[in-house]
Amino acid sequence: MKVMRKIIEIDEELCDGCGNCVLACAEGAIQIIDGKAKVIADKYCDGLGACIGDCPQDALKIIEREADDFDEEAVEGLLKQQKADKKQAEPIACGCPSTTISTFPTANAGSCDCANKPTIQSSGGASSLGHWPVQIKLVPAGAPFLKDSNLVIAADCVPVAYPTFHADFLKGNTVMIGCPKFDNADENVEKLSQVFKVSGIKSITAVIMEVPCCSAMPMIIKKALEKADVDIPYKEVVVSYRGEILP
């Protein structure tokens, strides 16, 4: 039934698809579709505006218009479906080889270990990556390489833009990467909160690009820290398009 009521309106011209509003919407009414935040159906939006303060671009506002009435039962069904979809999307260790946990010698290993390391066809020196997988969604919260580690959480564009990423950020550290714009933000908050709870992480370094959509990565990490209720030293590094670390 259509009624006159308050509801969220999203200005797609201003929206950069960062996903902060998706995290802030308890009803699951907002999703990133084709790189833009959208209310998937009027009946899921309560119009209270909890999502507005999390938008760095001021793309959200409350308006009053004719819309389907807010439906709490429909919201419950939506949240259950989203939870089921999330569970179904969880990687399984016996599936794709990319989900298989591996650790291997790095450039810091001894000569005997390095002798068993595959040859790297590169003029840029040896890899400092010491484990696999690296995608946030694929790394199990209890992966052995996370235990008592210094964790680098990087936006996945960073290693392309920053020429000495291995030397400056990977040596002696573990790494998880993801795209704060196109990944499911709620899933990343949940995964990282589990990591922070069980792995005894010593420190967290977030490495992001200067683009607006990357601002969601620190938000995701901070929400995960809050959810895990742990105190872990945290810092942010911002990289420019041209591979320079910004002040």
- Average pLDDT of the chain is 85
| For residues 38-60, average pLDDT | 91
List C-alpha distances in Å: 219 to 48, 106, 182, 215.
21, 31, 15, 7
Check whether 244 has a pLDDT greater than 70: yes
Q: Give per-residue pLDDT as tens, 84-99.
A: 776 655 554 445 555 5
Phi and psi torsions of 6, nearest 5°: -80, 140
Return the axis-axis angle of helices 185-198 and 72-89, rounded to nearest 10°.
60
Q: Give per-residue pLDDT as tens, 116-162.
A: 444 334 445 678 898 989 999 998 888 889 999 999 999 999 999 99
Query: Higher confidence at residue 100 or residue 238?
Result: 238
Residue 40 one-letter amino acid: I
pLDDT at 110: 47
Overall size of the chain counted in residues: 247
